[in-house]
């Protein structure tokens, strides 16, 4: 499999460090609110990566964190539950949004069934241990900081100049214009802040971890150091991943991850979709407008993960139509009237050469999908593939792309009878009755296409 490694800025043949097992760490959500569909684009990319690695025979050990303590979760939980104990308030808020996130992910076919999802608040000991092992740290009045001037490689992802100075930044989310020593640990300032006991070099520093230390500590706790692949959206290159690498490498003298992959952003009107710009939509917004969450998944897969994708309702509409096309094609397997046309279609060969080959080439989902649409276009109205070809191809689409098209049920007996009655009415040229029966079927969500081979139903 070829993957574009952000560390080397090259397309490389991927090789895990031990046998066929792959350690994969993906940065997870901060659970203070609904995630937006921009975030979900990145999780869909990571799900596709995991699926492809698995298909190639790798045993994937996937770890994802849940950021359930940071400035935003603390502020929001205090606002919502001001009279609760701070840790309880934080737990109430974050568990709720963690559940909401998992539900969104499930609706999008993101499969976490074999993933290890780990909460920051349950790994504070590992973070403290890591902080103890970092040589180039220092204490300031408000916490413990990482001294970037003592780490010569600082700035690999964003080509920073090396003239760093010693100012400090407490905020975890800053940009490259604000390069500074970053917080490993923040001392408690207000009564309403949840805090953990921490004694460092004889000083009592009760407080909470910075954001970056969380991923370094949890990733290496579960996957060792270095591990194989680390991913996130491009905005995480700096400062988050830069800081993760710096602190892990200074603590343990080894690289953090051999490969870093970064997914490009989902945009709205040319700007990154983000909470702070208030230009975001959630999966609920999509569902409320009547779109299938899978249409959003398909929209995401129709562009390469390293290209920006501009979201618009028109593009979602087009993706919904494309999804309907795939589903109608999948439903042909149930059609008694369609004639089998398998000429020149060898499912196994098609899967290998047209479908899996692009996926193994840096996850080229748009090419795999355009090959699928070419295959669909070969089947003329009134035709279908053989059961065996459908079974192989649809199963593979689901395994690789998670579109959930292989298990679609047949229509029920009553609906089949209505189709038969309509055919009889048409034979008797009773157009009124035929129309009436068509309407009845439509009310049940079943449409009819009259083809040379007879009526073919589709779900409306």
**CB neighbours (10 Å) of residue 5?**
18
27 lies in the binding site for Zn ion (CB under 5 A): yes
Closest to 233 (Cα-Cα) out of 275, 281, 272, 194: 272
What's the closest the beta carbon of residue 275 comes to ligand AMP, in angstroms?
A: 8
CB 107 within 8 A of CB 85: no
Q: Which residues inside 233-262 make contact with ligand AMP, applying CB under 6 A?
A: 233, 235-236
Instruction: Specify the DSSP element, H or E, that contains 62.
Output: strand 59-66
Tokens of 305: 């993960």
Q: Residue 233: which of ligand AMP, Zn ion, none does it interact with, CB under 5 to 8 A by kind? A: ligand AMP
Q: Output 41 or 91, the one with its CB closest to ligand AMP.
A: 41
Q: Residue 347: which of ligand AMP, Zn ion, none does it interact with, CB under 5 to 8 A by kind? A: none
282 lies in the binding site for ligand AMP (CB under 6 A): no
Q: Residue 215: which of ligand AMP, Zn ion, none does it interact with, CB under 5 to 8 A by kind? A: Zn ion
Distance set, CA 119 to CA 64, 68, 215, 332 (Å)? 9, 6, 10, 44
Q: Output 123 or 188, the one with its CB closest to ligand AMP.
A: 123
Site string for Zn ion, 163-202 (x = CB under 5 A): ----------------------------------------
Q: Residue 225: which of Zn ion, ligand AMP, none does it interact with, CB under 5 to 8 A by kind? A: none
Q: Residue 330: which of ligand AMP, Zn ion, none does it interact with, CB under 5 to 8 A by kind? A: none
What's the closest the beta carbon of residue 27 comes to Zn ion, in angstroms?
A: 3
Q: Residue 38: which of ligand AMP, Zn ion, none does it interact with, CB under 5 to 8 A by kind? A: ligand AMP
Tokens of 248: 């892990």
Q: Residue 61: which of Zn ion, ligand AMP, none does it interact with, CB under 5 to 8 A by kind? A: none
Closest to 305 (Cα-Cα) out of 352, 258, 394, 368: 368
Q: Which residues inside 200-229 make contact with Zn ion, applying CB under 5 A?
A: 215
Q: Which residues inside 31-50 make contact with ligand AMP, applying CB under 6 A?
A: 38-39, 41-42
Angle (nearest 5°) at CA 4 between 272 and 62 = 85
DSSP summary character for residue 234: G
Tokens of 3: 């993957």
Q: Rounded to 5 degrees, what are φ and ψ at 44?
A: -70, -40
Torsional class of 274: left (φ above 0), alpha (ψ -120 to 50), beta (otherwise): beta
155 lies in the binding site for ligand AMP (CB under 6 A): no
261 lies in the binding site for Zn ion (CB under 5 A): no
**CB neighbours (10 Å) of residue 275?**
16
Stretch that binds ligand AMP, among 14-22, 70-78, 264-272, 405-413 (CB under 6 A): 264-272
Q: Output 39 or 220, the one with its CB closest to ligand AMP.
A: 39
- Give the E-state strand segments of 234-302 in sequence order: 257-263, 266-268, 271-272
Q: Residue 216: which of ligand AMP, Zn ion, none does it interact with, CB under 5 to 8 A by kind? A: none
Per-position DSSP letters for 294-328, written without gaps between them: HHHHHHHHTS-TTS-EE--HHHHHHHHHHHHHHHH
Task: Tally DSSP H helices, then E strands, for the chain.
Answer: 15, 21
Q: 267 in helix, strand or coil?
A: strand
Beta bridge partners of 309: 266
301 lies in the binding site for ligand AMP (CB under 6 A): no
Stretch that binds Zn ion, among 24-32, 129-137, 400-408, 436-444 (CB under 5 A): 24-32
Q: Which residues inside 209-238 make contact with ligand AMP, applying CB under 6 A?
A: 232-233, 235-236
Q: Output 32 or 296, the one with its CB closest to Zn ion.
A: 32
**Binding residues for Zn ion, per CB under 5 A?**
27, 215
Site residues, ligand AMP (CB under 6 A): 27, 29-30, 38-39, 41-42, 232-233, 235-236, 265-266, 272-274
């Amino acid at each position: 499999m070829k993957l574009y490694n952000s560390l080397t800025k090259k397309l490389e043949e991927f090789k895990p460090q031990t046998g066929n097992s792959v350690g994969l760490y993906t940065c997870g959500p901060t659970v203070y609110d609904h995630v937006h569909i921009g975030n979900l684009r990145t999780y869909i990319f990571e799900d596709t990566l995991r699926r492809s690695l698995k298909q190639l025979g790798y045993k994937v050990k996937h770890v994802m964190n849940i950021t359930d303590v940071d400035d935003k979760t603390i502020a929001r939980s205090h606002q919502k539950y001001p009279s609760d104990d701070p840790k309880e308030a934080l737990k109430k808020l974050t568990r709720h949004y963690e559940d909401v996130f998992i539900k969104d992910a499930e609706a999008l076919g993101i499969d976490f069934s074999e993933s290890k999802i780990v909460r920051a608040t349950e790994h504070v000991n590992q973070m403290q241990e890591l902080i103890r092992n970092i040589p180039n740290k220092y204490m300031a009045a408000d916490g413990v900081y990482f001294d970037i001037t003592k780490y010569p490689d600082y700035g690999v992802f964003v080509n920073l100049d090396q003239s760093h100075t010693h100012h400090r930044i407490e905020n975890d989310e800053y940009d490259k214009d604000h390069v500074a020593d970053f917080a490993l640990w923040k001392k408690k300032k207000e009564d309403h802040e949840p805090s953990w006991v921490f004694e460092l070099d004889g000083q009592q520093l009760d407080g909470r971890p910075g954001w970056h230390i969380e991923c370094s500590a949890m990733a290496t706790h579960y996957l060792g150091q270095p591990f194989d692949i680390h991913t996130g959206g491009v905005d995480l290159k700096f400062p988050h991943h830069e800081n993760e690498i710096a602190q892990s490498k200074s603590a343990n003298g080894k690289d953090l991850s051999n490969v870093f992959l970064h997914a490009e952003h989902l945009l709205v009107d040319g700007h990154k979709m983000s909470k702070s710009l208030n230009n975001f939509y959630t999966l609920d917004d999509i569902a409320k407008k009547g779109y299938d969450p899978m249409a959003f998944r398909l929209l995401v897969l129709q562009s390469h993960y390293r290209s920006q994708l501009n979201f618009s309702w028109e593009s979602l509409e087009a993706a919904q139509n494309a999804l309907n096309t795939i589903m109608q094609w999948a439903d042909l397997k149930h059609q008694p009237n369609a004639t089998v046309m398998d000429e020149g279609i060898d499912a196994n060969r098609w899967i290998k050469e047209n479908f899996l080959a692009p996926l193994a080439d840096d996850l080229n989902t748009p090419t795999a999908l355009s090959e699928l649409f070419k295959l669909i276009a070969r089947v003329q109205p009134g035709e279908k593939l053989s059961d065996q070809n459908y079974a192989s191809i649809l199963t593979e689409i689901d395994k690789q792309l998670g579109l959930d098209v292989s298990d679609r049920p047949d229509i029920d007996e009553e609906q089949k009878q209505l189709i038969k009655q309509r055919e009889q009415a048409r034979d008797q040229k009773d157009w009124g009755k035929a129309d009436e029966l068509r309407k009845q079927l439509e009310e049940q969500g079943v449409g009819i296409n009259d083809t040379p081979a007879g009526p073919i139903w589709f779900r409306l």
